[in-house]
Structure 1
């Protein structure tokens, strides 16, 4: 009979090879040696069959008398299996989203180029698979692809041949043949999308029923759609008022100058990162282990800059590279930087308080003494912790010396609250991509390019945009309940959260506080729909 650890090891080993690549940096995964992407129709069917096998094995596990830690991990693995079904059969990215195949081809190359010392042999291996993968793309997308997603992909691939020529010249001329072929193949794929677009399907929302199943089964959330919208609108109003008060307070304070260049910005960040770590310790907020490496900003490599649109230009390391620093690559400071780059160029702590927390939280989670928690990811706790940390640092006084940085943090709060409403309304069909773009431009406000990128991404991946605010809301309740317990202190609570930061908060409430309310609420709703607590 299976044991829980053996089942988890088998599942995560399979997932490392089968998990699709996305543009998000949180779900990046360490692939097996000699791994190659395969999204042929046969490979998709094999994923379905293997998922069914894992589901049957999971159902056979009996943890009814097990310690709470094991029961948490049993439910966590159910969530991970539900995510596979969500990806394959509900979102069906492999047959609806043309950008999916950009991610599984040159997107995989992009990720291999993010470590400071890229493994060029692995880059070659993936480059050689691109013709076959794009051939499978045409087969899988035929009759199913969505026009709006295709248009976004066509725009992104407008100069792909030139971009990959630049990558080859800056990285290693010996890669020129493979990169040239990849550029030609991706350009041909773009041209095929242009031809096919008039007959493609409109965007179809996943719908309320499927979205609510995602909330319960994948994210382990106790909230209804109406509750999510109420959270969004209340937090948006709060952020608008706080930002207005802060702007009024600072109306005569000049903005801080931009750094001279990205190298100078990196030096500022290095000092700021240490000051933030000292701040955590001095104020008894979060432990900073001696073996925890650092988060660094580096100038954008010339070989990465042409394809920076493929994802987040950082390397948060991984479970096998805990002895390495996390890095983020920056463009040169300028007056027309995109929204988030502009914020952190003025004050590196604005970036450290969020992206730097991702590095720390993941590095700590990858050290978790319980292996099954090292591999699981869910953006609700991950993004929730980082977003919670922004306001934690604001309240604790980190930004007392930086008036306009306080405005930025409040503006971030406004954006993250809005994302919930956009996400939910896109998912249930109350908003389309153009409406979401206009909503972001008006309400944040945000530049058109960033708003379009976010709206298209959120329409393609329902359930992701809301994670920041929903996770923070859960964490605030978690910490508040902990603070009402005698003997609890903030450092201990935060240390537990960061170390287990890949795990849904509803499960952590049960383990750390003995409160099963959110877990039971999510599973009770699932029971009413399915008649059981199994997948």
Structure 2
């Protein structure tokens, strides 16, 4: 914990007055930029927009927002950052990445025009609402139900450039359970898609809150009408879903700030897939006389496995000086709920219900949930409010093999096999992400590829992943493996740089203290090596579609 505070204090080291004034200008610009991009028409507030949604409204607002970015870009470009301390230069590049991401969303992604799912995603949260409800909860539910019909009517006018893959995914999700049901309320038989969840809400209202029946029925009818409109218009919805090869590479470099091209990432991921597949074969040979670990047969058995795993992991992290666990980090729960499926466990459950440790280190401690607890206490104006996906997923994916190699799985030899299975799947995501965004593969082709490359991978998990990596901003699917490789490279750089003075715990503490920034920026701050960030100082125009 002392090192974390020491690293944070380096931000307060005295700098020349003129440089400090420039940095204050950066902080002001950052606040103004975030205020400027407060959602006026985004997925987060789409229900609140209600009847205002329509092509004219959306176009007017977004064209206005896009034009306004030029002033921010000019102000940022006028800052003379060469004399700034490295930590402040890193903050500057972080704001540049944020600004570039806003431009890409407004100029290229435009989900309000291209993706019906943009309007459907918030509807699930309404259908999940508890019934009966009272007080503020009831008022909020009624307000949201009332907003569904006008919002979906406006969406039809706004969706003028729908991509075929987006339309097919929306129709599928309206009528079918995704088969994974992560963070959905538990149902023994999951409702069939968004429409099914409105049927579920209607049944609960009929039983426990009949005064809501008319409002639920009206919302449900609007959802069904939207499905019917999509099916009718589907032959005309033929735009490409991916952003194209040149734009993909622009986004990777100037928003995610990964110093690689998509071709580079394809080569690296193929090598990682080969390496981990070979390692899995060797581990299975090593463990050939070890008994297989049985799947949990009940929620109680799984809870006991998770509790035992959590204790083992925390003891290892402290005892082996892997990372500092501050006193304020309490219980962090688990990531994969115990679900009994008629089809049997899915890919994640095949592993988690045998040994929870791969996902526990990735998603709980010292992975995502631990990461989030530290981030929640970060009050720095830029770093405390920024989170880059390849940093988050790269760190969490790095932990799987790092903890295995450092000795954290010696209590469970089969766990090493499961770590490799996770890595194999993550490596297979890279070609899926790249080729969907390049418009080389359809969603189904990406699903087929990932299943072919990954033992135990089922169709539902593969399809949900493919949808995420196509519909989110580009590069989320590559974040796991490529971020992990960036972490490996940073570890190598720092160990070589410090020699006998290198400490793994101090390395991890310093990395976490830097914030959830692109790993290339953290590398520059930690090591002083400037070869990667040299690619980020200038931002060229977004290339044309190819």
Q: TM-score, normalised by structure 2?
A: 0.80
Alignment partner, residue 532 of structure 2: 518
Shift of 1:424: 1.7
Equivalent in 484, 507, 510 of residue 496 of structure 1: 510
1:191, 1:119 → 2: CA distance?
31
Deviations 1:476-523 (A, max 9, x none): 111211112333321122123234452011111222221221111344
Equivalent in 477, 481, 485 of residue 497 of structure 2: 485
Alignment partner, residue 211 of structure 1: 248
SS at 1:17's partner residue? coil
Q: Check if 1:458 corresponds to 2:480.
A: no
2:128, 2:337 → 1: CA distance?
13
Alignment partner, residue 279 of structure 1: 316
1:216, 1:119 → 2: CA distance?
43
Alignment partner, residue 196 of structure 1: 233
Q: How does 1:262-277 map to 2 (within 5 A)?
A: 262-277=299-314
1:157, 1:189 → 2: CA distance?
9
Shift of 1:66: 3.2
Alignment partner, residue 49 of structure 1: 64
The answer (yes or no) to whether the contact 2:523–2:529 under 8 Å persists in 1 is: yes
Q: How does 1:21-420 map to 2 (within 5 A)?
A: 21=43, 40-41=54-55, 42-43=57-58, 45-61=60-76, 62-64=79-81, 65-103=83-121, 105-109=122-126, 122-142=140-160, 144-158=161-175, 159=192, 160-167=194-201, 173=209, 178-201=215-238, 203-297=240-334, 329-332=337-340, 336-356=344-364, 357-420=367-430
Alignment partner, residue 484 of structure 2: 472
SS at 2:353's partner residue? helix
Give the stretch that moved more between structures: 449-458 or 408-417: 449-458
The answer (yes or no) to whether the contact 2:276–2:420 under 8 Å persists in 1 is: yes
Alignment partner, residue 435 of structure 2: 425
Alignment partner, residue 185 of structure 2: none
Give the stretch that moved more between structures: 424-433 or 344-353: 424-433
Give the stretch that moved more between structures: 2-11 or 225-234: 2-11
SS at 1:398's partner residue? coil
The verdict on how the C-alpha distance between 1:274 and 1:35 changes in structure 2, with shifts beyond 3 A counting, is farther
The answer (yes or no) to whether the contact 1:273–1:295 under 8 Å persists in 2 is: no
Deviations 1:442-488 (A, max 9, x none): 11132123223333433334311111011111111112111123333
The verdict on how the C-alpha distance between 1:133 and 1:401 changes in structure 2, with shifts beyond 3 A counting, is same
Paired residue total: 486
Shift of 1:220: 0.9
Unaligned 5+ residue runs, structure 1? 22-28, 298-326
2:215, 2:95 → 1: CA distance?
39
Shift of 1:52: 3.8
1:48, 1:329 → 2: CA distance?
43
1:384, 1:332 → 2: CA distance?
31
The answer (yes or no) to whether the contact 2:273–2:424 under 8 Å persists in 1 is: yes
Alignment partner, residue 452 of structure 2: 442
Higher Cα Rg: structure 1 or 2?
A: 2
Shift of 1:161: 3.7
SS at 1:197's partner residue? helix
1:363, 1:234 → 2: CA distance?
34
Shift of 1:182: 3.0
1:338, 1:223 → 2: CA distance?
33
SS at 2:461's partner residue? helix
